[in-house]
């Protein structure tokens, strides 16, 4: 069965509307009755299909007594284009707004990560994450624990029903994050994760010089029912790419990096040598 197109912004919007309706304790049918809508109209909204005007959406949000900040977020999602991708800004400049990424990771059945400078977030120990977060200039000390907790919560998605591929540059293993003891613990964690049958950890060695991933780190999310997405993270924004040309370009990068990387056993040997 061909995969249906359902954008990241559409899924985020639909989830928000579903949560708003569920918070009322009313059914979709009852919401439709109160708004004098067909029930299918509410169903389409929950599925992220739109099909209403902005005024009608505002009526629904008002009926559900959605708080102002969440209402503004849903209205902004409603206005977003759903063809090329979704650019999400972190207005305070703090990279702790991971809710969209976390939602998409939970939906994905295969996650492929290219990490050029740091151990991938999904594989980070909380102490390692804390050091990384503290290095961000705009993060306040009181925010660190909350951000680290959110990042650590992402690890709950590891399960044999999913496939994980991590391509990591050797420089990410050598970059000192925190103490020598912390780095040893983090590398040991990497070894432990690499022996899980559904997790592939492969290292791109420094010895090859230039490589296919020089443009930067990224994550590809593949789904059983939806078209794939590529996720890029910057200092104060997150970008989800969904158009076919972008997906093809990043697939080519992953293919080239896979050819340049050490195999699983060689990668474990390299990590072990760094521990020694």
Q: Does 183 lie in the same domain as 164?
A: yes
pLDDT at 93 over 60: no
Task: List beta partners, residue 199.
Answer: 164
Q: Does 158 lie in the same domain as 22?
A: no
Q: Does 65 lie in the same domain as 90?
A: no
Residue 105 domain flag: yes
Which band of pLDDT confidence, cut at 50, 70 and 90, is reported for residue 167? very high
| Per-residue pLDDT at 69 | 87
Which band of pLDDT confidence, cut at 50, 70 and 90, is reported for residue 11? confident
Residue 3 domain flag: no
What pTM value is reported for the model? 0.77
| Per-residue pLDDT at 230 | 95
Q: Does 150 lie in the same domain as 73?
A: no
Of 83-87, 97-101, 219-223, the poorest mean pLDDT is in 83-87
Last residue of a domain, one of 83, 116, 146: 83
Angle 159-95-212 from CA coordinates, rounded to 5°: 70
Please write down the HEC assignment for all residues of the chain. CCCECCCHHHHHHHHHHHHHHHHHCCCHHHHHHHHCCCHHHHHHHHCCCCCCCHHHHHHHHHHCCCCHHHHHHHHHHHHCCCCCEEEEECCCCCCCCCHHHHHHHHHCCEEEEEECCCCCHHHCCHHHHHHHHHCCCCCCHHHHHHHHHHHHHHHHHCCCCCEEEEEEEHHHHHCCCCCHHHHHHHHHHHHHHHCCCCEEEEEECHHHCCCCCCCCCEEEEECCCECCEEEEECCCEEEEECCHHHHHHHHHHHHHHHHHCCCHHHHHHHHHHHHC
Measured CA to CA, the distance from residue 96 to residue 237 in angstroms comes to: 10
Q: Does 102 lie in the same domain as 54?
A: no
Which band of pLDDT confidence, cut at 50, 70 and 90, is reported for residue 95? very low
Residue 244 domain flag: yes
What Å distances lie between residue 270 and 33, 78, 158, 267, CA to CA?
63, 48, 24, 5
The CATH number for 176's domain is 3.30.870
Structure-model confidence comparison of residues 9 and 200, the more confident one: 200
Mean pLDDT of the chain: 88
Which band of pLDDT confidence, cut at 50, 70 and 90, is reported for residue 88? confident
Q: Does 90 lie in the same domain as 66?
A: no
* Residues near 233 by beta carbon (within 8 Å), at least 6 away in sequence: 95, 217, 239
Measured CA to CA, the distance from residue 215 to residue 12 in angstroms comes to: 28
Q: Does 230 lie in the same domain as 218?
A: yes
pLDDT at 43 over 50: yes
User: Domain total for the chain?
Assistant: 2
pLDDT tens for 206-240 read: 999 999 999 999 999 999 988 899 999 887 778 88
Which band of pLDDT confidence, cut at 50, 70 and 90, is reported for residue 97? low
| Per-residue pLDDT at 16 | 87
Last residue of a domain, one of 83, 112, 143: 83
Answer for the pair 168, 203: CB distance below 8 angstroms, yes or no: yes
Structure-model confidence comparison of residues 95 and 86, the more confident one: 86
| Per-residue pLDDT at 245 | 92
pLDDT at 85 over 80: no
pLDDT at 176 over 50: yes
Provide the residue range defining the domain that includes 90.
86-275
Q: Does 35 lie in the same domain as 170?
A: no
Measured CA to CA, the distance from residue 107 to residue 185 in angstroms comes to: 30
Q: Does 63 lie in the same domain as 119?
A: no
Residue 115 domain flag: yes
Structure-model confidence comparison of residues 252 and 85, the more confident one: 252
pLDDT tens for 132-144 read: 999 988 888 888 9
Q: Does 140 lie in the same domain as 90?
A: yes
Angle 252-160-261 from CA coordinates, rounded to 5°: 35
| Per-residue pLDDT at 158 | 97
Which band of pLDDT confidence, cut at 50, 70 and 90, is reported for residue 1? very low
pLDDT at 55 over 60: yes
Q: Does 92 lie in the same domain as 79?
A: no
Last residue of a domain, one of 51, 83, 115: 83
| Per-residue pLDDT at 155 | 92
Residue 2 domain flag: no
The CATH number for 39's domain is 1.10.260.40
Cβ-based burial of 131 (10 A; exposed 0-12, middle 13-18, buried ≥19):
buried
Residue 269 domain flag: yes
| Per-residue pLDDT at 83 | 54
Measured CA to CA, the distance from residue 102 to residue 129 in angstroms comes to: 16
Angle 11-108-166 from CA coordinates, rounded to 5°: 135
Residue 57 domain flag: yes
Residue 1 domain flag: no
Task: List beta partners, residue 231.
Answer: 219, 240
Q: Does 94 lie in the same domain as 79?
A: no
Range 266-274 average pLDDT: 97
């Amino acid at each position: 069965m061909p995969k249906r197109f359902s954008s990241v912004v559409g899924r985020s919007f639909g989830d928000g509307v579903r949560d708003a309706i569920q918070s009322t304790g009313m059914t979709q049918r009852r919401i439709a009755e109160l708004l004098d809508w067909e029930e299918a109209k509410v169903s389409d909204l929950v599925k992220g299909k739109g099909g209403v005007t902005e005024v009608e959406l505002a009526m629904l949000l008002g009926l559900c007594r959605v708080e102002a900040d969440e209402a503004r977020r849903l209205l902004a999602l409603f206005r977003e284009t759903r063809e090329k991708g979704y650019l999400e800004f972190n207005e305070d400049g703090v990279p702790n707004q991971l809710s969209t990424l976390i939602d998409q990771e939970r939906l994905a059945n295969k996650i492929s990560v290219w990490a050029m400078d740091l151990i991938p977030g999904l594989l980070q120990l909380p102490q390692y994450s804390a050091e990384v977060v503290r290095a961000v200039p705009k993060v306040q000390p009181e925010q660190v624990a909350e951000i680290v907790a959110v990042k650590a919560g992402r690890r709950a998605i590891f399960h044999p029903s999913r496939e994980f591929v991590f391509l990591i540059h050797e420089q990410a293993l050598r970059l000192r994050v925190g103490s020598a003891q912390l780095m040893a613990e983090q590398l040991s964690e990497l070894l432990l994760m690499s022996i899980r049958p559904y997790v592939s950890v492969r290292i791109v060695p420094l010895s090859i010089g230039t490589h296919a991933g020089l443009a930067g780190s990224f994550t590809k999310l593949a789904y059983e029912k939806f078209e794939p997405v590529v996720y890029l993270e910057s200092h104060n924004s997150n970008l989800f790419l969904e158009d076919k040309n972008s997906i093809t370009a990043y697939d080519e990068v992953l293919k080239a990096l896979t050819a340049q990387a050490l195999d699983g056993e060689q990668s474990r040997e390299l990590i072990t040598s760094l521990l020694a």
